[in-house]
């Protein structure tokens, strides 16, 4: 029973880290990255569709994203979706492909992005701590069952704390790497 709780905690904390990495990947860092378009959805034949499902996204140059729509009729819809997004990019098209120029980051823009990165990291830490709290409550609920000793409960709580510390440290590492990436560009 305790092992199941610990496994669920591990799963949820691992998922939190992967969500964090995905969220940070979509933040622009002065370089073209197809992940920047992950959150952009295009209204395609009346359905909201992820950008990567309406065309091929490539990086022909370090600061250019290129979208080659599979359906040429979708070019206007793709441009509209990019303009509506929070990316702040202006698409240009030649009738076949859409190009997005990723502007150089100013010092102020970099600082704002780093602020958002830290905020996203803090949200991930909060999520990890919430998993710890939920697991601790479940473990304490096991006290009522006679077949779980105080020592087992104490050990399980220590294990949960070790997992939490490990994942919090991983969040810090991911945030630190993203900060370096943004400030080094």
Axis-axis angle for helices 150-184, 2-25 (nearest 10): 10
- The class that CATH gives domain 2-25+106-184 is mainly alpha
Nearest to 136 by CA among 156, 166, 151, 150: 156
Q: Which residue has the tokens 């091929």?
A: 56
Q: Are strands 91-93 and 55-61 parallel, antiparallel or unpaired?
A: unpaired
**Residue extents of the structural domains in the chain:** 2-25+106-184, 40-101
Q: Which residues neighbour 47 within 8 Å (Cβ) at sequence distance 6 or greater?
A: none
Question: Residue 30 to residues 33, 95, 100, 136, 173: CA-CA distances in angstroms?
Answer: 9, 26, 12, 42, 21
The second-level CATH assignment, the architecture, of 40-101 is 2-Layer Sandwich (3.30)
Element housing 68 (H / E): strand 64-69
What angle (nearest 5°) sits at the alpha carbon of residue 119, between those of residues 113 and 125? Answer: 140
Cβ proximity of 22 and 38 under 8 Å: yes
Give the whole-angstrom CA distance, residue 124 versus residue 30.
24
Q: Which pLDDT tens digits describe the chain residue by residue (185 residues)?
A: 788 888 999 999 999 999 988 888 767 666 778 888 888 888 888 888 888 888 899 988 888 889 999 888 888 898 999 888 877 788 888 888 999 888 777 788 788 888 888 999 999 999 999 999 999 888 888 877 767 788 888 898 899 999 999 999 999 999 998 888 877 75
Q: Decide if 2-25+106-184 and 40-101 have a common fold.
A: no
- Neighbour-count burial for 99-113, b at 16+ CB within 10 Å, e otherwise: bbebeebeeeebeeb
């Amino acid at each position: 029973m305790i092992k199941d709780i610990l496994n669920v905690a591990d799963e949820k904390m691992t998922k939190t880290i992967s969500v964090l990495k995905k969220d940070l990947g979509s933040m622009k860092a002065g370089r073209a990255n197809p992940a920047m378009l992950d959150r952009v959805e295009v209204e395609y034949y009346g359905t909201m569709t992820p950008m990567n499902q309406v065309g091929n996204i490539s990086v022909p140059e370090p600061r250019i994203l290129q979208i080659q729509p599979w359906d040429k009729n979708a070019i206007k819809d793709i441009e509209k979706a990019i303009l509506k997004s929070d990316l702040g990019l202006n698409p240009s098209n030649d009738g076949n492909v859409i190009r997005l120029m990723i502007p150089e980051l100013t010092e102020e823009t970099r600082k704002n992005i780093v602020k958002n990165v830290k905020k996203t990291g803090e949200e991930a830490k909060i999520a990890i701590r919430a998993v710890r709290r939920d697991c601790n409550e479940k473990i304490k609920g096991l006290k009522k069952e006679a077949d779980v000793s105080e020592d087992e409960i104490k050990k399980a709580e220590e294990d949960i704390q070790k997992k939490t510390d490990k994942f919090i440290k991983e969040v810090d590492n991911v945030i630190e790497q993203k900060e370096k990436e943004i400030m080094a560009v």
